[in-house]
Amino acid sequence: MITPKVPHIIYGGDYNPEQWPQSVWAEDVRLMRAANVNLVSVGIFSWAKLEPQPDEYDFGWLDRLLDLLHENGIMANLATATASPPPWLARLYPESLPVTKDGVVLHPGARQHYCPSSAAYRERAAGLVGRIAERYKDHPVLAMWHVNNEYGCHVSECYCDASAAHFRRWLENRYGDLERLNEAWGTAFWSQRYGRWDEILPPRSAPTFANPTQQLDFRRFSSDALLGLYEMEREILRGATPDVPVTTNFMGFFKPADYWKWAGREDVVSDDSYPDPSDPEAHVLAAMNRDLMRSLGGGNSWVLMEQTTVRVNWRRRNAPKEPGRMRLWSLQAVARGADGIMFFQWRQSKAGAEKFHSAMVPHVRPEDSRSWAEVKRLGEDLTKLDGLSGTRGEARTAVLIDWDNWWALELDSKPSADVRMIEGLYFLYRPLFEANVPVDFAHPGSDLSSYDLVIAPNLYLVTDEAAENVRSFVEDGGTLLMSFFSGIVDENDHVRLGGYPAPFKDLLGLTIEDFVPLAEGATGCLATEEGASFSCDLWADLVHLRGAEALTTFADGFYGGMPAVTRNAYGGGSAYYLGTRPDAGYMGVLLERVCAEAGVGAPSEAPPGVEVVRRRSTEASYLFVLNHGEEAADVELEGPTVDLLSGAGRDGTLRLEPFGAAVLREW
Ligand code: GAL
């Protein structure tokens, strides 16, 4: 259960009543009830209405609105309203505006126009949050706090003088003295040695590549600067309402914020997710995001805080979700641990930049709209899933992700700029998704003992502790699959000498002499032990075996005959290594072998295109069967069950229509 105030699966959306005359509110709550909405996020962008002039507050409208919700049994995820400062903040404190790397000031007129290190923003935001918390702490509709909105979405870093000073304080705290900083940043290179703290700047636009560790530390700092703002608000809210859960909405695999660190400071993880309906693999990417959210919260249930009913407004061409897709993708989120399904937004705006973004209540009359019918249907579906509360996923496979590694991997001046974190991760996630193997994400330094298989995509930056953690996982009997360009640098982005990949040579039973980045569009040939051939691209490692066996070798290039994919028995387990990026055909074969060796697999058989996910507790087990295909699909059931969505008993063959879904109670 996400919040004791809503002892059900949460259903609702962002509600922005300040955009509408009060005469519309009564219609809003009537429709909310018709759709089984039980929670709305209120006030996210209402700072200018709540505090029209500095220290002049107007809470009357919000009082009336919350009372109206209360009368109608709808709870509030009350926002702190700090996401978009009113114009007066910039007028009174122009230094609160963010500045880009190139020195461009970002002005008011859109949203999120504040520097994360601005004292004025911080003080004014704290003042507002304190008043909101004080006023509504005992209001019966208060179910959850929604802090700010998508921290860092538009402005994730600022290069102004206040940010520079804040960055220096952060660095002093990290390094203590300048000598240590000079050492960590490798400033002997290009005469970059710092003699005084005030010589240090954020990595503003410079003649050429900025110092990599400076860039890496600025990423760490920028995530922490935003996190500091979140924590400032959270402390105020905690002080007023120690028992009301606090969240801030994430954005999936969002590079600027280290969500492992953030999630640990939230009571509930929540996410905004806008898969592109015109992308045939959108549901796979969506599944990957949902698995991340569940993992960030340590396996606890999370809330899908925002998605669209039909269309967004911010792509070049905003393809709609066809009928049925919104329901299917929502149920996918529930399958992967969400106990709340919400939308941006409740009522489609009449004015402003998002007027063509779909909402639960469309511009046209709801009764004339298929999307409203779908909104009502989903609301009803979710009322049937209360039993899921307390059930969890059952992954025994973990994919490693570490924001430090992501940041470092994608800095400039690498053998190939095309080795990208999310692509590398997706490349390994996708075949697991297709095989319906349940997957968690994990930090490389975290406890891996509950997993049988660990996948380490491009683990370029690794600390000594994390390297040891991965090694001991295999020693203790685990199976590891690691992809190229792993174990290359330490936490300062300094190369680990002694032969690549220094911390993993023994574990993998090999050394790498050098890397061969493949040109754009170029492919190579792979030959397997069994005589089959496949293709590969992007990268080739020059691998020398030191105990590992070659499963596959390169069949062309000056390195033809050298190992491309290897396996090493180590301790009680085994470590596979991918020294290139093979094609999907090969990856399917390899992952089948790796999963079989690790003893991990799908919860049940399913035809291609059908996703099968289990959630269970000690009392109950539920199997989600989701057909993402455009054809009907037949799934063979292992025994008689009941489909909670249709209420029908099922046995033998379960036929799912295109975009059809079933939630089967197994026991
Ligand atoms: C999110 C944001 C919402 C809305 C939505 C549109 O990024 O939190 O306020 O702008 O996108 O898709």
Summarize the confidence of residues 525-530 as an average pLDDT. 95
Confidence class of residue 445 from pLDDT cuts 50, 70 and 90?
A: very high
What pLDDT does 50 receive?
98
**SS3 call for 219:** helix
Ligand 1 centroid to residue 344 C-alpha, Å: 6
Summarize the confidence of residues 94-122 as an average pLDDT. 98
Summarize the confidence of residues 555-565 as an average pLDDT. 97
Q: Whose CA is nearest to atom 2 of ligand 1?
A: 150
pLDDT at 538 over 90: yes
Q: Could you list the active site residues?
A: 150, 306
Q: Is 488 near ligand 1, meaning CB less than 6 Å away? A: no
Percent of the chain with pLDDT over 90: 99
Summarize the confidence of residues 260-289 as an average pLDDT. 98
DSSP line for 424-441: HHHHHHHHHHHTT--EEE
What pLDDT does 129 receive?
98
> Tens digits of per-residue pLDDT, 330-363?
999 999 999 999 999 999 999 999 999 999 999 9
Residues 6+ apart with CB under 8 A from 344: 13, 14, 272, 306, 307, 308, 357, 359
Ligand 1 centroid to residue 84 C-alpha, Å: 12
Summarize the confidence of residues 602-613 as an average pLDDT. 96
What pLDDT does 104 receive?
98
Find out whether 387 and 622 touch, Cβ atoms under 8 Å: yes
Q: Which of 274, 308, 344 to mutate to test the pocket of ligand 1 (most atoms within 8 A of CB)?
A: 344
Find out whether 571 and 474 touch, Cβ atoms under 8 Å: yes
> Tens digits of per-residue pLDDT, 292-339?
999 999 999 999 999 999 999 999 999 999 999 999 999 999 999 999
Ligand 1 centroid to residue 409 C-alpha, Å: 28
> Tens digits of per-residue pLDDT, 632-660?
999 999 888 999 999 999 899 999 999 99
What pLDDT does 639 receive?
87
Which atom, in ligand 1's list, is nearest to the CA of 44?
9
0.85 exceeded by pTM: yes
Buried b (16+ CB within 10 A) or exposed e, 621-642: bbbbbbbbbeeebebebeeebe
Buried b (16+ CB within 10 A) or exposed e, 19-42: bbeeeebeebbebbeebbbbbbbb
Q: Is 344 near ligand 1, meaning CB less than 6 Å away? A: yes
Ligand 1 centroid to residue 274 C-alpha, Å: 9
Q: Which of 306, 309, 311, 354 to mutate to test the pocket of ligand 1 (most atoms within 8 A of CB)?
A: 306
Summarize the confidence of residues 409-420 as an average pLDDT. 98
Which atom, in ligand 1's list, is nearest to the CA of 45?
9
What pLDDT does 236 receive?
98
Percent of the chain with pLDDT over 70: 100
Q: Is 146 near ligand 1, meaning CB less than 6 Å away? A: no
What pLDDT does 558 receive?
98
What pLDDT does 17 receive?
98
Summarize the confidence of residues 475-499 as an average pLDDT. 98
Summarize the confidence of residues 220-225 as an average pLDDT. 99
pLDDT at 562 over 90: yes
Q: Is 111 near ligand 1, meaning CB less than 6 Å away? A: no
